[in-house]
Amino acid sequence: MKKLNVKNNEAAIYGVGGLGEIGKNTYGIQFQDEIILIDAGIKFPEDDLLGVDYVIPDYQYLVENKDKIKALVITHGHEDHIGGVPYLMKVLNVPIYAGPLAMALIKNKLEEHGLLNSVELHEISDKSVLKFRKMKVSFFRTTHSIPDTVGIAVHTPVGVIVETGDYKFDLTPVTNQPPDLQEMARLGAEGVLCLMSDSTNAEKPIWTKSEKWVGTSIAHIFDNIEDRIIFATFASNISRIKTACDNAMAHGRKIAVFGRSMDAAIVNGRELGYLDIPDDAFVDAHELQSLPANKTLILCTGSQGEPMAALSRIANGTHRQISIQPGDTVIFSSNPIPGNTTSVNSVINKLEEAGANVIHGRVNNIHTSGHGGQEEQKLMLRLMKPKFFMPIHGEYRMLKIHTELAEQCGVPLDHSFIMQNGDVLALSKDSARMAGHFTAGDVYIDGSGIGDVGNVVLRDRQLLSEEGIVVVVATINLTNQEIQSGPDILSRGFVYMRESGELLDEGRRRVFKTIRKSMLAKKATESSIRNAIIDDLQEFLYNKTERHPMILPMLIMNGKE
């Protein structure tokens, strides 16, 4: 078991995920034999992680210390904060504490994984207090792009450690859940030992626009559209869904919902009272045909260009129930996440080609970030007045800028700590120091497989996607040193076989000679013959084509070796 270099009178804080990256937010606060976990998120894969669905943290340190973990507390219900919950619960069964919306979303995830009846769940509010033997946890309300967002204060014997979660200071939120500035100021007045704060927008010298401001822009757009509206946004952005639905009802439009996650968001939002939409405001897909174009709103997923989302299928003409009609207006009420820009642009192009008018981008004022800019980050620092500072939730450059903002707000630069996942910060009442490191790498989820896709598999996928594969099939009798059939060569993604007969015939003759030569060697084995085929054919094909396809020999062995 990995033992931290932390003294008995020190608290330890660390990121299992979420440091130096956007996503995988999973943080630990530890005092002696008690650990409070904050969030359990996933990260969406970069383009080079071919075939990978999600990335989660390596939970090994937590598994080794599972008896110390008293609770998993959740700041809010976005995937980069709760997406890893079912995977974490498979290796650690610890009590979960979350607000109403986050809890509803977590229950859905646990049910999908067959874990709902085996996990201890507790719904909390911003007024809740959790008491453990040595530590206490309290909450304060923040604003983000999803309701029921809280910051977390962990009261340890050496001082209070605050983790903000994702936040902005939206003073006119459409959910009527304004940030609790008084509670933040009270925590700061009583003394915050260390602040762990969201760094996502640390590069932007702004005060992020209110959701109410976006609502005004969307209302103006609805006023000027006479035909059908297709509105795409994140299913988790309940505030934006509310704005779209409120405007639809104000203009006498019926609402049709497409996308499983959007359906679930509407159900949860209505049950929890965030969406005040009567049953008769909704219509099914088959009812759309009988309604005038100016009396319909199609609410759907796919604002990030996801291939299987409703909007992408509409754009491609493969959706079973909806096709683009002349005069349709499609509103993208989100900005592309880094890495998704190409996919989003592709969907926009297809929609435009099909005859739709597409409204997107910052110029139309139809989206605002859920994360505070520099001015809000400075306000949080001023309210909390921390002795020490640890920026979280951001890539390195964002964390670095955030420490510079902290210095401007009275936190000495040597009291700020830019950390990596697995780094440990030890805090006493008056000091902070780096106290070691544990392994906290990435674990890839591909389909139902967890952790069975490693760097070798990813390298093979990269090679296949770029250079293709050449399969060599032969039947050989190693005892008699005979080639009984073949070799045959098959190409997939390397060269078009019908037009490359001469190349493949020459390759076949070369492989034939290589196999015969290899069988005649002393101590010849199937493995040695395979390796000889790979080495010789790779050299030959590179000399002819300047490409490096994957070579896969398939040898059928007759006789005894």
CATH number, domain containing residue 542: 3.10.20.580
Residue 473 and residue 346 share a domain: no
> How many whole angstroms separate alpha carbon 228 and alpha carbon 318?
19
Which of 50-59, 225-234, 297-306, 552-561 reaches the highest mean pLDDT? 225-234
Q: Pick the catalytic residue: 155, 360, 371, 415?
A: 371
Of residues 44 and 53, more confidently modeled = 44
Contact in structure between 490 and 473 (CB atoms under 8 Å): yes
Q: What letter does residue 370 receive in the DSSP assignment?
A: S
Domain C-terminal end among 403, 427, 447:
447
Q: Residue 255: CB partners within 8 Å, gap ≥ 6?
A: 245, 248, 249, 277, 281, 282, 283, 297, 299
Residue 74 and residue 100 share a domain: yes
* Six token digits for residue 129: 């207090």
pLDDT band at 392 (very low <50, low <70, confident <90, very high): very high
- What letters, b where the CB count within 10 A reaches 16 and e where it falls short, cover 501-518? eebbeebbebbeebbeeb
Residue 252 and residue 172 share a domain: no
Res 449: pLDDT:
47
Which segment of 217-221, 237-241, 350-354, 554-558 scores lowest on mean pLDDT?
A: 554-558
**pTM, entire model:** 0.79
Domain C-terminal end among 311, 344, 364:
364
- Residue 163 within any structural domain of the chain: yes
**How many CB atoms sit inside 10 A of residue 290's CB?**
7
138-to-12, 124, 127, 135 alpha-carbon distances in Å: 18, 10, 7, 10
Q: Pick the catalytic residue: 198, 423, 442, 536?
A: 198
- What letters, b where the CB count within 10 A reaches 16 and e where it falls short, cover 18-55? bbbbbbbbbbbbbbbebbbbbbbbbbbbeeebbebebb
Question: Could you report the per-residue pLDDT of 55-111, keeping only the tens digit for each?
Answer: 889 999 999 999 999 999 999 999 999 999 999 999 999 999 999 999 999 998 999
β-pairing, 194-198 with 388-392?
A: parallel
- Residue 2 within any structural domain of the chain: no
Binding-site residues sit at 51, 53, 76, 78, 80-81, 144, 166, 235-237, 367-371, 393, 446
Residue 392 and residue 334 share a domain: no
H/E run at residue 504: helix 501-519
Paired with 479 in beta bridges are none
Going along 94-135, which residue ranges are E strands?
96-98, 121-123, 129-131
Res 334: pLDDT:
83
Binding-site residues for substrate sit at 235-237, 367-371
Q: Which domain holds residue 144?
A: 11-206+369-447
Residue 18 and residue 162 share a domain: yes
Domain C-terminal end among 312, 333, 364:
364
- Residue 3 within any structural domain of the chain: no
538-to-257, 458, 469, 472, 488 alpha-carbon distances in Å: 53, 20, 11, 12, 16
Residue 56 and residue 142 share a domain: yes
Q: What is the CATH number of the domain that holds 191?
A: 3.60.15.10
Contact in structure between 353 and 381 (CB atoms under 8 Å): no
- Residue 252 within any structural domain of the chain: yes
Binding-site residues for Zn(2+) sit at 76, 78, 80-81, 144, 166, 393
Residue 343 and residue 228 share a domain: yes
> How many whole angstroms separate alpha carbon 201 and alpha carbon 157?
32
Res 206: pLDDT:
95
Residue 378 and residue 352 share a domain: no
H/E run at residue 346: helix 341-353
Of residues 463 and 330, more confidently modeled = 330
pLDDT band at 559 (very low <50, low <70, confident <90, very high): low
Of residues 394 and 506, more confidently modeled = 394
pLDDT band at 343 (very low <50, low <70, confident <90, very high): confident
> How many whole angstroms separate alpha carbon 12 and alpha carbon 377?
24
Active site residue 319: no
Residue 375 and residue 359 share a domain: no
Paired with 416 in beta bridges are 389
- Residue 162 within any structural domain of the chain: yes
H/E run at residue 211: helix 211-223
Residue 191 and residue 252 share a domain: no
Binding-site residues for Ca(2+) sit at 51, 53, 446
**Helices 260-271, 100-112: crossing angle, 10 deg rounding:** 140
> How many whole angstroms separate alpha carbon 477 and alpha carbon 464?
31
> How many whole angstroms separate alpha carbon 473 and alpha carbon 492?
14
Contact in structure between 535 and 518 (CB atoms under 8 Å): no
- Residue 308 within any structural domain of the chain: yes
Active site residue 442: no
pLDDT band at 450 (very low <50, low <70, confident <90, very high): low
Residue 265 and residue 162 share a domain: no
Res 464: pLDDT:
53
Going along 190-275, which residue ranges are E strands?
194-198, 229-232, 254-258
- Residue 263 within any structural domain of the chain: yes
Give the rounded percent of residues in the chain with a pLDDT score beyond 70.
90
> How many whole angstroms separate alpha carbon 443 and alpha carbon 233?
29
Q: What is the CATH number of the domain that holds 227?
A: 3.40.50.10710
- Number of domain units in the chain: 3
Residue 220 and residue 356 share a domain: yes
- Residue 6 within any structural domain of the chain: no
